[in-house]
Chain A
Amino acid sequence: TQLLEQSPQFLSIQEGENLTVYCNSSSVFSSLQWYRQEPGEGPVLLVTVVTGGEVKKLKRLTFQFGDARKDSSLHITAAQTGDTGLYLCAGGGAWSGGGADGLTFGKGTHLIIQP
């Protein structure tokens, strides 16, 4: 069974601060996706990273895929109240254990940005 562990589970910071959330696994994934989910809504795709060591920037958000394709991080600079939400990482095409089993999600990081 492939597992993705996200940390921290909960994070509450002040507007303007920086933060990093992590996504780690013992499995290798062919791609890693980050989603943001609002209460009662479906996850919204933020970014997909596919190459080991890849770094992608989306305005104030920076995503990194580990060299070994087992881990990823999301860094937010100068957080805003609109960044509040559940951030989910999801691994695609796991190679260990044989075959792809859809997307494997972590439990998510609940992020609250206080004004």
Chain B
Amino acid sequence: DAGVTQSPTHLIKTRGQQVTLRCSPKSGHDTVSWYQQALGQGPQFIFQYYEEEERQRGNFPDRFSGHQFPNYSSELNVNALLLGDSALYLCASSLVPGGATEAFFGQGTRLTVV
């Protein structure tokens, strides 16, 4: 049973560029959440997708957007990259939307903005 998979594992981008990160949820899961984890910090919730719609959003600017496909996989897009966007981006999948359920995480995508 494949767990949550993310691609790419590492990425280097230049300030002002745009980036797309991808996530395939754990088999049987229909809800995908994205988190940003800065060095030395806990993950921070970006947004959650269920039934191909953004259901919840954390305190992140509109430069962060996403998409969920009919097969439940998801993309995170970040426009106009800033140095401060450098972080580990984590995708988590679960069965039930909302926070009160178990989330399983992928290995993350390490984004470096230079």
Are A41 and B42 closer than 8 Å at their CB atoms?
A: no
Tally inter-chain residue pairs, CB-CB below 8 A: 87
Chain A: interface size category: 20 to 34
Are A106 and B42 closer than 8 Å at their CB atoms?
A: yes
Cβ 8 A contact of A102, one of B40, B99, B108:
B99
Are A94 and B107 closer than 8 Å at their CB atoms?
A: no
1/0 contact trace for A90-102 toward B, CB 8 Å? Answer: 1111100001111
B56 in the interface (beta carbon within 8 A): yes
B110 in the interface (beta carbon within 8 A): yes
Cβ 8 A contact of A42, one of B40, B41, B98, B105:
B105
Residues on the A chain within 8 Å of B105, using CB: 35, 42-45
1/0 contact trace for A12-55 toward B, CB 8 Å? Answer: 00000000000000000111010100001111110010100000
Are A107 and B103 closer than 8 Å at their CB atoms?
A: no
A4 (CB) vs chain B CBs: closest residue: B42
Known: A43-B105, A45-B104. A102 touches B110 (CB 8 A): no
A112 in the interface (beta carbon within 8 A): no
Are A108 and B42 closer than 8 Å at their CB atoms?
A: yes
A113 in the interface (beta carbon within 8 A): no
Are A33 and B42 closer than 8 Å at their CB atoms?
A: no
Residues on the A chain within 8 Å of B88, using CB: 40
Cβ 8 A contact of A101, one of B45, B102, B106, B108:
B45
Cβ 8 A contact of B99, one of A4, A45, A101:
A101
Q: Which of B44-58 contact A (CB under 8 A)?
A: 44-45, 47-48, 56, 58
Q: How far is the CB of B54 from the nearest CB of chain A, in Å?
A: 11
Q: List 8 A-B contacts (CB under 8 A).
A: A6-B42, A30-B99, A33-B102, A42-B6, A90-B42, A93-B100, A102-B48, A104-B99
